Structure 1
Amino acid sequence: MIRIFFSLGLAITHNVVYSENIYKAYNNTNGLDWWQTGIIYQVYVRSFKDTNSDGIGDLNGVTQKVNYLKDLGIGAIWLSPIFESPQFDFGYDISNFKQIEKVFGTLADFDRLLNTYHNAGIKVLLDFVPNHSSHLHEWFLKSVKKIPPFTDYYVWEDPVYTKEGKQPPNNWLAVFNSGSAWEWNEERQQYYLHQFLVEQPDFNYRSPMLVEEMKNVLRFWLDRGVDGFRFDAVNFIFERADLVNEPESGDPESEPNDYYSLNHIYTLDQPETYEMVHQWREVIDSYKKSENDTSRMFMVECYSPVDKIMQYYGNDTALGAHFPFNFFFIEHFNRQSDAKQMRDVIASWLANIPEGRWPNWVLGNHDKNRVASRLDSMLIDGIQMAQMLLPGTTVTYNGDELGMEDTYIRWDEAVDPWGLNVGIRRYEKFTRDPQRSPFLWDNSLNAGFSDGPKPWLPVNPKFWRDNMQQQTKYKSHLRTYKQLVSLTKSPTILYGDLNVFILSKWVLGFSRSYLDHPTYFVVINLGSETERVNLLNARYTLPHILKVKVSSVNSGLVTGNLVRTENIILRPKAALVMTTSRTNEDDDNF
């Protein structure tokens, strides 16, 4: 498999701090698998493309755009939840795990999508929600009535009686700042656990029958031909069985009953959770076509401390997920971050990853503000250079290839339950609506997303300028992204060593090298002023002239330009990918 070595070995030379041997990767004799060599592209289906004019994206819309994603060079798409759902949390409240929600289409529409993408050479991944179902799911309705075997499919507990009367079993809180994570059910005369919305009761994974039911859901879709899954909120699936109260977090920004007012040591990342992930891996691996082929894969979402995250990879005796999402660029990198902090974000993942496991890099998703808004719209090319040219798999949120920004959504337009729960005063802090606005296809009505009268969320007002069609016509974020996708196929990027350099307080550089293939050197100016850097101070073996391979839109340079290694000039937020090859055939035909 892949061997990873990490060493900081910091030294200072000519005011340059540099880090050697951050990562060395050696390919095994069987090569890399499809999920290691292709971009995974998240399609938020509600906002991608509407084909029936109801203002909501659908499966036929995703099918319709296959040529766009094929031309983009995408290796796999991951679809946000498309299962039957009353849509209280826009699909993350599932009422039937084996049926398609009618607002998105039918099973026949899904099969057509699957065949279309497979014929285009693109894998299809589904969003699997293991922690909870909808309160309208048949299993929950039967559990309320204590109909076997559904009686213990969910987490039910008796009340605690105090002088104030009937109380929930403990102080656990729901994620969406809606107060207690326990809801009283009058018919059953017990509380049920819901770590998210009241309409999303938590499953009880201590029920062997429930565990088998969920494995059968995976088998249903694997038998249908899907290539894998993204497991949502996997770290929530088990809780302490003795229902111990969670301690206060001391978070100064949290109000009473806010989720983050508690330290969730008894409801997240429990030991049994990792064992369940091992069991899911066994189901996934049972669909291998051969011993040397990972025909199916899965990745897991967990916003957790790094030591907890790494356990989702598995251990020496049991495999876990193919990778847990790496959210370090979301959680630990912002507008204030300098080159050292960026180096630390990169190094902290690679230093902790278990030997033989594969890295990944995530910049955005449907739950977090868009990267172009969190950082700077002019830094989007540079940060994607890092994401795509560091060792590992890239996961892209739809629209980030365009540099899409958050759309301001007024309170009267709000639909996200998290934002609505906290009220108008704190809505903008918690809402996830801005990053979910429709994809910008062209400059027509509703940015080409829908020809209906009103999309489910407003279209970004910059659609006339920043849409996909316009960006095909000039040097743009989209064209830069496509160049980077092409470069990810290079043997140097797939298999090469990584060296990371702090070239100044605000300029980060890194190089990728592999055998006799061209070396690539990336420089990113995170700062607000023009910077002049000398790469020979960082790596004296570089030739004195480098060729620009990919450049950010604000760099003032284009592919093919030659630059002097000791005098690289970077505008604010500008970035470059340079190569040691002086020919036009360095890695263009890999």
Structure 2
Amino acid sequence: MRTLWCLVSLVTIVAAQPRAELDWWQTAVFYQIYPRSFRDSDGDGIGDLKGITEKLEHLKDIGVGGVWLSPIFKSPMADFGYDISDFQNIDAMFGTMEDFDNLLEKAKEFDIKVILDFVPNHSSDEHEWFVKSAQNDVDYSDFYVWHDGKVLTNGTRVRPNNWQSVFGGPAWTFHGGRQQYYLHQFDPKQPDLNYSNPLVVEAMKDVLRFWLDKGVDGFRVDAVPHLFEGPIDVDDSVTSAPQHRPETYEMVVQWRKIMDEKSVQYGGTKVLMLEAYGSVDDIMGYYGTPSAPGGHFPFNFRLISDIDKSSSAEDFSTVINEYLEHMTDGRTANWVLGNHDKHRVASRFVPELVDGLNFLAHLLPGIGVTYNGEEIGMENTFITWEQCRDPQGINAGPEHYLEATRDLERTPFQWDSSTSAGFSSSESTWLPVNPNYVELNLEAQKAAEKSHYKVYKQLTELRKNPTIQRGGAHVAALSQNVLGFTRTLPDEDTYVVVINLGDEMEVVDVKKALSEVPDKIKIHILGINSRHMAGHTLSSSSLEIQPKEAFVFIDPGNSVSMILPSSLFVLIVQFVIRYV
């Protein structure tokens, strides 16, 4: 009987210590879809909502937990949907509200959360609000940022200040009807809303409520730092509006309250993801505080803004560790390698590093973010001046458009080797398909023995592991060009990631830099350009690694976790009661 009591007590102690559950968004892979380029269902050469719905099975297959759609709202398309003329309606180019409802329903069947793009800084100049504001309608007069301008000594009226637009050129345009300048920090057809007006604040909150009531699971918020401009009467030496102002952080806190209210109403967290570039301290402000939470997470763009193909392993290590050191007060980390505004990973670095960089994005602590096409290693597509569609590229002119355009990373998804890469039944698409689609496409990668797609699936499956979800990280440069990091958690498997960023074969001592690594490490996942095979055991003190080679190792000697699942607990108790 004493044996029975000891065994039951032991099992009870072990089983009674479950780890705290993480919320769905804290372990998810978020996948950005650029709707114009994902899948065209009707043959007009432009992607649409029905096309996205058709391909949700692919997202389920690769382990996506949440899909973020770039803007699908009614728009004149001066900036391809980021100039919105009706925040509560679907643009006919993408389909109907019924199509959107069907997408939501299908996504729910696949347990995929749907995130919309919230564009609060500006509207289209064709929005009803701006039309009325330009007419000095009493209810909308101050909905936008208007100014008389400055009068020079010779009586000439000029722009209020020397602020420049993100897209190039002055950030002020004179409106002949109202006889005032209006602010646009992006295209002239994107006038800035005036957040000093409480009516604007409430109107945009109503936009959030509308879509949350429709059933969406959250928002990616565009261009957050631009919301509040501060004083307009500044010296002409100041060429851009100040960002990351206290009022901006407070506005995010107000939006979070709405998200939390709707989370309670509908049961399940409605997530707020923020687009903001800046210093680490600037970005941390968007998390808010424990007593006044802000966004669930601001996107971490450090692997884009601070790293390039010339960066050393030490550069990578410094950037990653600096960011991780700020993950305090319950903050959840995230890792972004690309999006619709930045060149594709395979082109920004080299195609051979696609797998290794995906190891970083998905195996470091926190949330993984993928831009559509990165799971198969899509590359930038050359665009002629005549094919250029992006206003940022067009404003740069024919001599410099390739340096500025974002079209290169926005070309159609490469599904297979059929007409237009399976994106459309039409041979004419809104942007040209990359000619390499004949070899580089999803169908071919599914059939291949080794492919980026298959590696990506292994990564998202590994993300379900407790060590990857909750474990600590130790990141270090193993040499000038070899980066390594570990993921560890007591009583769970230890994982070791090693990536050669350089062009030469190296022999590195992993154990010396990462002391928790065992003498022998077993290959768990490897990049497609490796000569090894999964399951091979290698020495951690003299690891030979080829140029651009990348590995995920596992400690072959780790014991089985002492945290027992409830089903095993029941079996043990039944055994003890019956036989002891």
Cα drift, residue 500 of structure 1? 1.4
**Among candidates 405, 413, 423, match of residue 431 of structure 1:** 405
Cα drift, residue 408 of structure 1? 0.6
Cα drift, residue 565 of structure 1? 2.3
**Among candidates 306, 319, 322, match of residue 293 of structure 2:** 319
Code of the aligned partner of 2:56: V
Which stretch of structure 1 is more off in the superposition, 321-330 or 301-310?
301-310
After superposition, the Cα gap between the structure-2 partners of 1:28 and 1:82, relative to the gap in structure 1 and judged at 3 Å, is farther
Matched, 1:572 2:562: no
Partner of 1:522: 497
Partner of 1:157: 147
Cα drift, residue 534 of structure 1? 2.3
CA distance in 1, matches of 2:279, 2:235: 20
**Among candidates 465, 468, 471, match of residue 439 of structure 2:** 465
Do the aligned partners of 1:313 and 1:354 also contact (CA within 8 Å) in 2?
no
Partner of 2:526: 551
After superposition, the Cα gap between the structure-2 partners of 1:586 and 1:91, relative to the gap in structure 1 and judged at 3 Å, is farther
Code of the aligned partner of 1:561: H
Question: Taking structure 1 as the reference length, what is the TM-score of the superposition?
Answer: 0.90
Deviations 1:333-385 (A, max 9, x none): 11111110010110121123442111110000000011111111101111110
3-state SS, counterpart of residue 415 of structure 1: coil
Partner of 2:330: 356
3-state SS, counterpart of residue 51 of structure 1: coil
**Among candidates 240, 247, 260, match of residue 237 of structure 2:** 247
3-state SS, counterpart of residue 521 of structure 2: strand
Partner of 1:310: 284
Matched, 1:92 2:82: yes
Partner of 1:532: 507
Code of the aligned partner of 1:484: L
The structure richer in helix per residue is 2
Partner of 1:338: 312
After superposition, the Cα gap between the structure-2 partners of 1:585 and 1:462, relative to the gap in structure 1 and judged at 3 Å, is farther
CA distance in 2, matches of 1:224, 1:540: 51
**Among candidates 50, 66, 91, match of residue 60 of structure 1:** 50
Question: Taking structure 2 as the reference length, what is the TM-score of the superposition?
Answer: 0.91
Matched, 1:166 2:140: no
Partner of 1:372: 346
Matched, 1:477 2:457: no
CA distance in 2, matches of 1:498, 1:362: 18
**Among candidates 146, 159, 171, match of residue 181 of structure 1:** 171
Do the aligned partners of 2:496 and 2:517 also contact (CA within 8 Å) in 1?
no
Code of the aligned partner of 1:279: Q
**Among candidates 435, 438, 444, match of residue 418 of structure 2:** 444
**Among candidates 14, 20, 25, match of residue 35 of structure 1:** 25
3-state SS, counterpart of residue 225 of structure 2: helix
Partner of 2:187: 197
Partner of 1:393: 367
Identity score, percent: 48
CA distance in 1, matches of 2:381, 2:560: 41
Deviations 1:486-525 (A, max 9, x none): 1111000000011112211111111011111110000000
Cα drift, residue 288 of structure 1? 1.9
Cα drift, residue 537 of structure 1? 1.9
Which stretch of structure 1 is more off in the superposition, 551-560 or 134-143?
551-560
3-state SS, counterpart of residue 439 of structure 2: helix
Partner of 2:8: none
Cα drift, residue 584 of structure 1? 12
CA distance in 2, matches of 1:434, 1:246: 34
CA distance in 2, matches of 1:541, 1:41: 33
Code of the aligned partner of 1:359: A
Code of the aligned partner of 1:444: S
3-state SS, counterpart of residue 522 of structure 2: strand
3-state SS, counterpart of residue 54 of structure 1: coil
CA distance in 2, matches of 1:419, 1:99: 28
CA distance in 1, matches of 2:156, 2:515: 75
Do the aligned partners of 1:554 and 1:571 also contact (CA within 8 Å) in 2?
no
Partner of 1:498: 473
Question: Please, which runs of 5 or more residues in structure 2 have no aligned partner?
Answer: 1-16, 566-580
Deviations 1:467-501 (A, max 9, x none): 00000122011111110011111000000011112
Cα drift, residue 289 of structure 1? 3.0
Matched, 1:560 2:550: no
**Among candidates 62, 67, 85, match of residue 77 of structure 1:** 67
CA distance in 2, matches of 1:182, 1:319: 34
Code of the aligned partner of 1:159: G
CA distance in 2, matches of 1:427, 1:222: 38
Deviations 1:402-439 (A, max 9, x none): 11110010111111100001101111110101000000
Do the aligned partners of 1:547 and 1:582 also contact (CA within 8 Å) in 2?
no
After superposition, the Cα gap between the structure-2 partners of 1:83 and 1:214, relative to the gap in structure 1 and judged at 3 Å, is same
Cα drift, residue 127 of structure 1? 0.5
After superposition, the Cα gap between the structure-2 partners of 1:51 and 1:361, relative to the gap in structure 1 and judged at 3 Å, is same
Code of the aligned partner of 1:211: V
Deviations 1:549-576 (A, max 9, x none): 1100111122222222223221101100
CA-based RMSD? 2.0
After superposition, the Cα gap between the structure-2 partners of 1:156 and 1:444, relative to the gap in structure 1 and judged at 3 Å, is same
**Among candidates 134, 137, 143, match of residue 144 of structure 1:** 134
Matched, 1:207 2:197: yes
Code of the aligned partner of 1:563: L
Cα drift, residue 269 of structure 1? 1.5
CA distance in 2, matches of 1:496, 1:319: 24
Cα drift, residue 286 of structure 1? 0.6
Code of the aligned partner of 1:161: V
Partner of 1:383: 357
Matched, 1:48 2:63: no
Cα drift, residue 585 of structure 1? 8.9
3-state SS, counterpart of residue 557 of structure 1: coil
3-state SS, counterpart of residue 405 of structure 1: coil
Aligned residues: 546
Question: Please, which runs of 5 or more residues in structure 1 have no aligned partner?
Answer: 1-26, 249-261
CA distance in 2, matches of 1:422, 1:134: 22
Which stretch of structure 1 is more off in the superposition, 162-171 or 125-134?
162-171
CA distance in 2, matches of 1:43, 1:166: 44
Partner of 1:127: 117
Cα drift, residue 63 of structure 1? 0.1
Do the aligned partners of 1:285 and 1:294 also contact (CA within 8 Å) in 2?
no
Do the aligned partners of 1:310 and 1:354 also contact (CA within 8 Å) in 2?
no
Give the structure with higher Rg (CA): 2
After superposition, the Cα gap between the structure-2 partners of 1:165 and 1:490, relative to the gap in structure 1 and judged at 3 Å, is same
Code of the aligned partner of 1:169: P
3-state SS, counterpart of residue 435 of structure 2: coil
Code of the aligned partner of 1:400: E
Deviations 1:303-323 (A, max 9, x none): 112221110110243111111
Cα drift, residue 164 of structure 1? 6.5
Cα drift, residue 448 of structure 1? 0.3
Q: Matches of residues 97-112 of structure 1 in structure 2 within 5 Å?
A: 97-112=87-102
CA distance in 2, matches of 1:301, 1:356: 20
Code of the aligned partner of 2:496: F
3-state SS, counterpart of residue 357 of structure 1: coil
